[in-house]
Amino acid sequence: MGEIIYGKEKAVKLRENIRRGIKKLSAARPPGLEIIIAGKDPASVYYAGLIQRAGDKEGISVNIKQFKKPHTGDISKYITGLNRNNTVDGILVQLPLPKNIDDERIFDLLSPQKDIDGQTPLNQGRLMTGREGIFPATAMGIIRILESNGIEISGKKVAVVGRSSTVGLPAAKMLLDRNATVTICHSKSRPLENYTKDADIVVVSAGRPELVGPEHVKEGACVIDVGTNEVNSKMVGDVAIEAVLKKAVVSPVIGGVGALTLACLFENTFEIYKNHINGIPAK
């Protein structure tokens, strides 16, 4: 029987450090984080509210701007203003964007220095070429959950299910950078178990309820469930947790990567804020 590993404890520590750091700087203004929601996606609205409430606790001023009838031009204009606004340290554009929005234009425009979820071409390129930058918070959370629970990455076989720019792809690169041998799976990787069942670590971020069952994982593997799916008003992960726990260590969707994602988002915001307050020019 495997054990459950959580991200909450590490997230609490990270957030305590951020809170202390903000207090210590005792600057004239708090860190400013702006969240842009294009459309009415309930999950985006819920998540933005959650970030705002959590930000309040840490002393981060979070403003939510929702474009209920979004147009690329309006959002672009708004982002241009935020890029120039010295009280805004971080900008988060909630994904996925509606189909009518030109996401390339949005992320080409967003200042890479305020891009707290590492979605601009510059920050994505920096990650892929092994340079310093601001990187996607969920991918950072995946690494943190493994490291804080003492799961060895170097030399291990890892299967990452999902190849999005926010989770799968950056997580795969971060794991590769830590000397894992990584297989990236997607919707055409069939049958999925052919790619996952030999892996020491399986990261699942597909957004498909209980996609991964015991047949997909080997005995003693570590499985990180990133997926969040609402099924009959209940939060369900991408991993059939009860069954998979019989043979593997599992990080569940509740209390797992999510808590660390939020902490890493605040960490990215705080790092930018520190530089702004101390007058350190952005790279």
* DSSP symbols for the chain: ---B--SHHHHHHHHHHHHHHHHHH--SS--EEEEEEES--HHHHHHHHHHHHHHHHHT-EEEEEEESS--HHHHHHHHHHHHH-TT--EEEE-SSPPTTS-HHHHHHHS-GGGBTT--SHHHHHHHHTT------HHHHHHHHHHHHTT---TT-EEEEE---TTTHHHHHHHHHHTT-EEEEE-TT-SSTHHHHTT-SEEEE-S--TT-B-GGGS-TT-EEEE---EEETTEEE-SB-HHHHHTTSEEE-STTSHHHHHHHHHHHHHHHHHHHHHTTPPP-
Q: Which of 94, 228, 268, 269 binds ligand NAP (CB under 6 A)?
A: 228
Q: Which of 32, 162, 170, 214 binds ligand NAP (CB under 6 A)?
A: 162
Among the candidate windows 12-20, 78-86, 121-129, 224-232, which touches ligand NAP by CB under 6 A? Answer: 224-232
Decide if residue 8 touches ligand NAP (CB under 6 A). no
Decide if residue 251 touches ligand NAP (CB under 6 A). no
Decide if residue 261 touches ligand NAP (CB under 6 A). yes
Q: Which of 37, 159, 258, 266 binds ligand NAP (CB under 6 A)?
A: 258
Q: Which of 144, 163, 216, 276 binds ligand NAP (CB under 6 A)?
A: 163
**Closest approach of ligand NAP to the CB of residue 106, in Å:** 16
What is the rounded CA–CA span in Å between residue 93 and residue 116? 9
Decide if residue 44 touches ligand NAP (CB under 6 A). no
C-beta closer to ligand NAP: residue 40 or 283: 40
**Closest approach of ligand NAP to the CB of residue 279, in Å:** 33
**Closest approach of ligand NAP to the CB of residue 188, in Å:** 6
**79 contacts 92 by C-beta, under 8 angstroms:** no
Decide if residue 211 touches ligand NAP (CB under 6 A). yes
Decide if residue 207 touches ligand NAP (CB under 6 A). yes
Q: Which of 178, 186, 197, 274 binds ligand NAP (CB under 6 A)?
A: 186
Decide if residue 164 touches ligand NAP (CB under 6 A). yes
C-beta closer to ligand NAP: residue 89 or 225: 225
Binding site for ligand NAP (CB under 6 A): 138, 161-164, 166-168, 185-189, 192, 205-208, 211, 226-229, 257-258, 261
